Amino acid sequence: MANQTTLRHVVLFSFRDDAPADAVDKIVTDFGKLKDAIPGVVAYEWGTNVSPENLNDGFTHCFTLTFASAPDRDTYLNHPVHQAFVHTLGACLAKAVVVDYWAQ
């Protein structure tokens, strides 16, 4: 690969119709706290779908984390704080998609 210095970790969430708004807000807040709790996160951003194309297949929330290396990403994925966060999603999450890529 030409440039292996910027690894993006993109997470899309679709929440259950019966998920309380305050529970979804807590998930968003807690996701944002991961960047400060786990070393190796270079950048973090999130937002909700605003596309007029109606191609989001129910996914409403997008989170993007940037890492400088695959080992940094792997540390994040296996970190106990991340694992604890993942275990809090079950009651609200309908589905998730995760895509990692090297920025070109």
Q: Which helix (H) or strand (E) holds 29?
A: helix 21-37
Domain parsing of the chain, residue ranges: 7-102
- Burial code (b: 16+ CB inside 10 Å, e: under 16) for 35-72 equals beebebbeebeeeeeeeeeeeeeebebbbebbbeeeeb
Rg (CA), the chain: 14
d(CA 18, CA 35): 28
CATH tag for 7-102 (out of 3.30.1200.10, 3.30.70.100, 3.30.70.260, 3.30.830.10) = 3.30.70.100
pLDDT digits (tens, 9 = 90+) for 8-59: 999 999 999 999 999 999 999 999 999 999 999 999 999 999 999 999 999 9
d(CA 69, CA 60): 28
pLDDT digits (tens, 9 = 90+) for 50-91: 999 999 999 999 999 999 999 999 999 999 999 999 999 999
